[in-house]
Structure 1
């Protein structure tokens, strides 16, 4: 079965890599800043996702995308076949709203209707972020299961998660 492709996007220095590493249980969570070059893909499993009253394990591809506009030419490839989007931004940055709006306009189709918005701090609320992420994955998989005959399986409602 194909993995779920979830992209992590947001402005430069918003914490995308830190959150991606945390969600993927990556061994290294650097606290010093190193900009992502284009995109990096983390592959991992999420266990105990409930689909139709059954517990399953699902393979995830988490695409940690650079916030640098010099990589905009990669956006079409990044957007292809996505199942969900995680927006990450720093609420203390006054410049981030314009950036988020541009990313939202490009990556989100009009059929994405509901956005889950969570506030997180990995150091003090990491377990809540993991729980919210598992719920997010479950929502995507349940919708995919319910819409298997739909022409475009990748355009789903409620497949956006904001983390700030």
Structure 2
């Protein structure tokens, strides 16, 4: 029997962390480069997953929120009902990484449930300011999944959303059982 679900996924992070680039590349299945979001954008993707031997059709509603402070009053309303969050930072920008703590606090305050969170380090050049070990440590301290993307491995975007959706479904099954 194929089970079906709809999962609301938020992409959050500071400006120029790669949220819109991630969404656009995932939606169009090709690397798109930098694009700025004004307010909020979204796409829908359907995944076929096998969780504990059961087939699941999961529809992801992926919401891209603007990272600029002036849009915060708009974007925080999208936190409600989120079952998953991709928290992005730019590994070439230490301030982008430091802002992750602020976004975790926002998630805690704004989300009505406890969403599954994946911390995603995005790299746009070779001048890295945040080392992988530092990001992995932060993720472990906050019980987050962790992954990294570069413009060279953007083909792995599907794997990131499969991993997050699977984590959400496992978490929801633990609640149900």
TM-score, structure 2 normalization:
0.71
Q: Is 1:88 the counterpart of 2:88 in the alignment? A: yes
In structure 2, C-alpha distance between the alignment counterparts of 1:16 and 1:45, rounded to whole Å: 19
Residue of structure 2 equivalent to 1:157: none
Residue of structure 2 equivalent to 1:72: 72
**Are the aligned partners of 2:66 and 2:75 in contact in 1 as well (CA < 8 Å)?**
no
1:1-164 matched pairs, under 5 angstroms: 3-23=6-26, 25-26=27-28, 29-31=31-33, 33-47=34-48, 49-108=49-108, 114-121=143-150, 123-148=151-176
The CA deviation string for residues 85-131 of structure 1, in whole angstroms up to 9 with x for no partner, is 1011111113213322211211146967521111111x422343422
- Which gives a bigger RCO, structure 1 or 2 (Cα 8 Å, sep 6+)? 1
In structure 2, C-alpha distance between the alignment counterparts of 1:117 and 1:59, rounded to whole Å: 22
4+ long deviations beyond 4 Å: 109-113
**Are the aligned partners of 2:8 and 2:60 in contact in 1 as well (CA < 8 Å)?**
yes
Greater strand content: 2
Deviation at 1:68, TM superposition (A): 0.8
Deviation at 1:84, TM superposition (A): 0.8
Residue of structure 2 equivalent to 1:159: none
Structure 2 unaligned blocks of 5 or more: 117-141
TM-score, structure 1 normalization:
0.76
Aligned pairs, number: 145
Aligned-residue Cα RMSD (Å) equals 2.4
In structure 1, C-alpha distance between the alignment counterparts of 2:166 and 2:149, rounded to whole Å: 20
Structure 1 unaligned blocks of 5 or more: 150-164
The CA deviation string for residues 18-51 of structure 1, in whole angstroms up to 9 with x for no partner, is 111233x3267532x432111111111112x112
Deviation at 1:10, TM superposition (A): 0.8
